[in-house]
A and B are shown apart, each in its own frame.
Chain A
Amino acid sequence: MISDFFHPNVGGVENHIYMLSANLLRRGHKVIVVTHSHPPDRVGVRWMLPGLKVYYIPFPTLVSSATLPDFLTFLPYFRTIVLRERINLVHAHASLSSLGHEGILHAHLMGVRTVFTDHSLFGFADAASILTNKLLEAMLRNVDAAICVSHTGRENTVLRANLPPEDVYVIPNALVASQFKPAPVAPPSHTITIVVVSRLAYRKGVDLLVAAAPRICAAFPNVRFLVGGDGPKLIDLLQMREKHFLQDRIELLGPVRHRDVPNVLIQGSIFLNTSLTESFGIAILEAACAGLYVVSTRVGGVPEILPEDMISFANPTEDDVFRAMAEAIAIVSRGDHDPHRAHERIRGFYDWGQVAARTEIVYRAVMASPPRELWTRIERTLALGPFAGLIFTIILAVDCLFFMFLEWWLPREDLDYVDCEWDLGRFGKIVQETRLNPDAQRRH
């Protein structure tokens, strides 16, 4: 697993990598994670439960935890890690992670196969998208398989990276259902609490929330809002609240830690998501799992994640959000939505164990497919375009030369191979021994 985005950062990608790794470990695979370091204290090699080895590469970050995309500097670390850990397959995550891109670029030198998971949706119209899409196309030119988290995401990735659709798999995210249990005591039915937990940014559609919330408050006197999250649009919410004198109806919680989210969710009965783009919408799933009825804008992969009777959709307009909210409030006040039943259903829908099993199928298919020769890679890279093709072919060639230099400079025979693996049983035994006999620890 390679990505710029991993623990100690928190987020959807980070959590996905951790959960997938843990479940692959459970299935008997050896998994290591490679990410960039978080000085001062997250450096070097760390172990995470349950026996997941994490390499923190000393790369400085540019912005929002992404490293500098320089294509080559990762190779010395990468080669050593791959060889000494005897890796067969590299799985890169997130399309804006340059470590992931580099991993895909270098992997073929060591005869390692590659899989890429795309977690986000991109448009095609603005300059930033055009550049990143070209970069993605170049990097995924020689990837063996790609995984997307929703069907919409798959279509998007196929178009952006120009991949054959058969090589792109759809494996959704999952969630740990036991972390999102409905409130044991149902929230009082006379007031309906609408929960919003989201980063308060433009892309999350806070403008829609700001426009619709006063109307909802005016139309339904028994409704109150609970908004968790922080971001640049918080100020808009505050202004709206002040302007319409809704201080007692709209509660702003500020930033909410991920482990506190379930406690926020179970205070409400309707979850409102006004995102303008969303490739999967794990927050919606978490809310639905906690027994909330969901109202969401019909964007990206959101329509795919829940059956129609657990969610109300709105078009991204103020009027339609209001309409959908009115519908949801009617459903909830009639008592048509049973939180515990919803929780049980979601528990059956999504499971990390299944995700790991489906990912394993992809890995097996990739391992069984014939690898591409270097010459085919060069030809494919050249076909990128008259300008980009040339640049990326040069990068590929320099990469090969650099690899040959490294082979001479740090010969494979001299590497310190990992032969001693983590063993949970042994760890437990040692812990018990030291507990029983505290002197043994002192003697060591």
Chain B
Amino acid sequence: MVGQNWERVLWKQQPYPDNYVPPSFLSSLSKNPNLREYAYWALILDSCAVTQHLSTIFIFLAVFVRLLDCTFDPRLLVFISAGMFVTGYALWEVLDYTQVGWIDGSADRRAKTAKASILVFLALMALAPILRTLTAATSSDSIWALSACLFLLNAALADYSSTSLSGRVRERLTSVLSMNAAISAAVVLASRLRDDLSVFALVLFSVQLFALFPILRHRLQATPSAVQFGSTLILAALSLAIVAPLSGAVACMFMAVLGSATFLAPAILLWAQKYKNEIRGPWDAATPKVS
């Protein structure tokens, strides 16, 4: 054509028509630049957090049903909660020790934790009579619907990511919302119970399950996969074992939900990845890197 080579510049008048398609057209286009091929087992491992979370919700519901029809002693639940707290805290300390190493001033920190937990314990106990009559004017049907919605919100917004090894939990707005939804659901459910002790026990239990356990779960996700698989398996089995005597149908549905969350959903994600077509090029807004 013309002796002069085409250049990708606008300031120069070039002997090419304005609609000339240079050979370098779209050369800086990149497709799926940061594609990470998923591996099925890694996905299953990542889905363990979801399974664990669903299991805790079902464990909570099963415990609630038992408290409601008085087949479960609330005093026992209080002891279980206390035991869970102590075990969880011990586990936390062990993880801290193995992952981060020994930190100075941990005795002071532990004293603070103990003080805070005793305060929460007493506050809940004092609040129990109020919580019991909180929704006395609301019909039970509304409560079931409300708590179902809140649990759905909780499961949808929960933070299933794992923390980095620094041990600092990144607080996102959604994870806070999720925790609030679960605690609200627990409170409205507890207000259906008959005596103050049951209310106290259930709310205490819900704090263990929905406020403290997710924090521990983040740390657990950074542990070897065997530990994760093991804890998931134990939780799922436990929840199934508690739910099954109450209702076979619910147990079957729950099992189906757990199975699809753990095995089917990763498979679908893996299959859908071949449709991924992400286009990147010089027109994309850059992300500023500020140190």
Contacts and interface: CB of A to CB of B under 8 A. Distances in A.
A211 interface: yes
B11 to A, nearest CB: 4
A95 B134 CA distance: 55
B285 A203 contact: yes
Contacts of B39: none
B11 A350 contact: yes
A307 B21 contact: no
B29 A208 contact: no
Nearest to A299: B286
A18 interface: no
9 contacts: A121-B283, A122-B283, A152-B281, A155-B26, A208-B290, A210-B290, A307-B9, A316-B288, A349-B11
B283 A277 contact: yes
A165 B21 contact: yes
A319 interface: yes
The B contact surface, by secondary structure, is loop
Contacts of A361: 17-18
Scoring B9, B10, B21 by chain A CB atoms within 10 A of each residue's CB, the highest score goes to B10
A419 B263 CA distance: 74
Given A317-B289, A318-B289, A277 B11 contact: no
B288 A205 contact: yes
Given A159-B29, A207-B290, A316-B288, A152 B9 contact: no
Interface of B: 8-13, 17-19, 21, 25-26, 28-29, 278-291
Contact of B287 (A151, A276, A346): A276
Scoring B8, B12, B286 by chain A CB atoms within 10 A of each residue's CB, the highest score goes to B286
A418 B138 CA distance: 72
A354 B158 CA distance: 59
Contacts of B9: 304-305, 307
A211 B290 contact: yes
B283 A123 contact: yes
Nearest to B281: A155
A208 to B, nearest CB: 5
Interface stretch (A20-28, A166-174, A178-186, A241-249): A166-174
Nearest to B25: A165
B278 A316 contact: no
A297 B286 contact: yes
**Ordered nearest first, which 6 A-B pairs have the shortest CB separation?**
A317-B289, A121-B283, A316-B286, A277-B285, A349-B11, A169-B18
